[in-house]
Amino acid sequence: MSAIPLRVPGIARSELLLGGQKSGKSRHAEALAQRWLAAGPQHRAVLLATAQAWDAEMRERIARHQADRAARVPGLQTLEEPRDLAGALARVSAPDTLVVVDCLTLWLTQWLMPPEAPASNLEPNRPDIEHWQAQAAQFLIAIEHSPGPVVLVGNEIGLGVIPLGREVRAFVDALGQLNQRVAAAVDRVTLMVAGCPLVVKGAA
């Protein structure tokens, strides 16, 4: 298992940030990236963004988030990677680079609930379960072997009403299982509640 060559207070080798919508997960990840960048002139920070612009509202949301993020953390580079997180993490991770993945929930969505196929296509898009399972296993290995710190952002969506529909229930189950597997693989897990971080695994 690789270690961080230069220890930065408050930054774990690997950390999972979980929380509900607008709980402060992404802001906290950005704060960690900012702390890492401020710790040394040689430090870099990269954000792997898993969101895809499926419609006009999503395009506007992504553009707004990019602009806000650039203003808050100018040194945080953003790369779009909706599916191959394992490969992307292996490519960009380095001892001097902190990698933020935002977010695991949208990543899972790209695999298990892909957007509708174009009208010209007679067959709708279907979940690629076999490849998803392989990708998830490779991603956990990539986290373990990452030479620099990794911050993973994900949603905790299993605390509310049980969703209607077989596909949605299956997605909620899959996300819970993914969160558990990632939590077991990282050094620290932090639950975000109304902007407040609560460490539930590892040292604060």
Q: Catalytic site residues?
A: 65
Laid out side by side, the sheet with 44-49 consists of 76-80, 44-49, 97-102, 150-155, 14-19, 188-193, 196-201
Strands 196-201 and 76-80, how do they pair?
A: unpaired
Cβ(105)–Cβ(154) under 8 Å? yes
CA distance linking residue 72 with residue 17, whole number of Å: 19
| Amino acid letter, 126 | R
The distance of Cα 75 from the centroid of its chain, to the nearest Å, equals 19
Cβ(70)–Cβ(49) under 8 Å? no
Burial of 23 (0-12, 13-18, 19+ CB in 10 A): buried
